[in-house]
Amino acid sequence: DQEGKASLYAMWHTMPGKFYGLRAEMSIWASPNIENSQESGASIQIYCQDRGHYNLIQAGFHILPSLYHNRDIRFFTYWTKDSRSKGCYNLQCGGFIPASGAKLVPGQAIAPPSIYGIQDHYIRLSLNKDPNSGDWVVYRHDLETPSFLGHFPKELCPETPRIQALTGFVNYLKNARGPPMGSGHFPDYNEKKSAYFNHIKKYNSKGQAFDPRYTGMVKLVDRKDCYDANDLFLEFKKGYTFNYGGPGGCIG
């Protein structure tokens, strides 16, 4: 935890092991009433063991008024040397390197958001270890062809074991009320009402994507009264999927 901040999660993650990345379709939700001191979003996270602590690299979308001075939903990347340090968003420091001509760059606004009960909108992202370069590459998969967005250099995530996670998250001031997560509603199985990760795939060391069955993923929800995630399961049209979210208002 950063000083004075509450960080709450609704995630499915692996135990430490030999993992090489994830892909998922992530629904996009606005948070028009989020306060300047708050953050809400969702991401693919890779925690990499490095001399006794875990580095973190991640890619996803968030609303973070203190960084952008508005409430737009934005694609973001983030990395931190260990789970206690402050970390680095987008291109603030050496870390994520965007591809030239990328269709989406860190900090770019994403539109349109999902509309509760009417229409869901999503982006499909992957973050995985490239078998040739060893770097951690980010692709967008919901355009006509997979679009290379950039990479985290392999030095940021060199060793196994690794933990990989699909995460809904919020950050806010301790002792204040938290912002909504996802659609601002607790998860149900209606994708027009509940934020989701759909078509979840894991990567192997050769860069091939597979269903995550037998991966032994576990759910982590640190405040079920505030935010929740439902079960990870296989559904005919959504592949491996789960929903997450909550209304906010919880005191951290």
Residue 207: give its domain's CATH number.
Answer: 2.60.120
- pLDDT at residue 150, rounded to an integer: 98
**162-208: pLDDT as tens digits:** 999 999 999 999 999 999 999 999 999 999 999 999 999 999 999 99
Range of the domain at 181: 5-251
Between residues 5 and 120, the one the model is more confident about: 120
pTM above 0.85, yes or no: yes
* Alpha-carbon torsion (31, 202, 221, 185), positive or negative: positive
The pair phi, psi for residue 134, each rounded to 5°, is 80, -10
Q: Lowest mean pLDDT: which of 50-64, 82-96, 236-250?
A: 82-96
- pLDDT at residue 120, rounded to an integer: 96
* Cβ 114 vs Cβ 73: under 8 Å: no
User: Is pLDDT of 74 > 50?
Assistant: yes
Alpha-carbon gap, residue 169 to 110, rounded angstroms: 18
CB atoms within 10 A of CB 35: 16
- pLDDT at residue 3, rounded to an integer: 63
Q: Over range 144-156, report the average pLDDT.
A: 94
Alpha helices per DSSP H over the chain: 65-68
Alpha-carbon gap, residue 27 to 42, rounded angstroms: 9
Q: Over range 111-140, report the average pLDDT.
A: 96
* Cβ 160 vs Cβ 21: under 8 Å: no
> Vertex 183, ends 21 and 119: CA angle to 5°?
95
- Residue 16 burial (C-beta neighbours within 10 Å; 0-12, 13-18, 19+): middle
Q: Percent of the chain having pLDDT more than 70?
A: 97
The pair phi, psi for residue 163, each rounded to 5°, is -115, 135
**29-66: pLDDT as tens digits:** 999 999 999 999 999 999 998 777 888 999 999 999 99
Number of domains in the chain: 1
Alpha-carbon gap, residue 56 to 24, rounded angstroms: 18
**What's the Rg (C-alpha) of the chain?**
17
- Residue 226 burial (C-beta neighbours within 10 Å; 0-12, 13-18, 19+): buried
| Residue type, position 29, single letter | W
